[in-house]
Amino acid sequence: MAQLGEPVPLKLTLKNIENSSIATYLAGMPDYGFTGSYDFIVIDEEGSEVWRWTYDKVILTILSEMTLEPGEELVFKGVWEQINNNGSPVGEGTYFVRGTLDFGDPPENYRLETELKKLMILPVEEPSPSDPDEVGR
């Protein structure tokens, strides 16, 4: 849950659960967080895309080899500022968020997608009126 207008932190974690190293290729460069390999997508209750993290990003068209040792994790982060792809604020309601990760060794490319996670955007709570007996004291 989040309050209307509040930034929503997003995180996608890739973990090697095997007993051996795994090598693959990710778009982008490690120093720039592999922008282009991962994405976060917000959709509304009707299933329409509201916002995509990479919508206005410059994507490096370079592949970098990445090796994950057993148990090692690679974490990708983003923030949804509760705006749509046109930059307009979204309203309160129910949204769904999905993370995606593209990887592989061209020409073999793969996409992992998380399950949709429900996100409730709640109205901003108005402060309760002051106790009338307290006014003017």
* Residue in 44, 18, 42, 12 with CA at minimum distance from that of residue 111: 12
Tens-digit pLDDT profile for residues 51-95: 999 898 777 667 888 899 999 998 999 999 999 999 999 999 999
Domain extents in the chain? 2-122
Comparing C-alpha atoms, which of 120, 95, 98, 94 is closest to residue 3? 120
| Choice between 76 and 136, residue whose per-residue pLDDT is larger | 76
CATH class of the domain comprising 2-122 = mainly beta
Claim: this prediction has a pTM higher than 0.85: no
pLDDT by residue (tens digit) across 9-33?
999 998 999 999 998 888 776 766 6
Strand positions, DSSP E, the chain: 2-3, 8-15, 22-27, 38-44, 49-52, 63-68, 73-80, 93-105, 108-113, 117-122
Confidence band for 105, pLDDT divided at 50, 70 and 90: confident
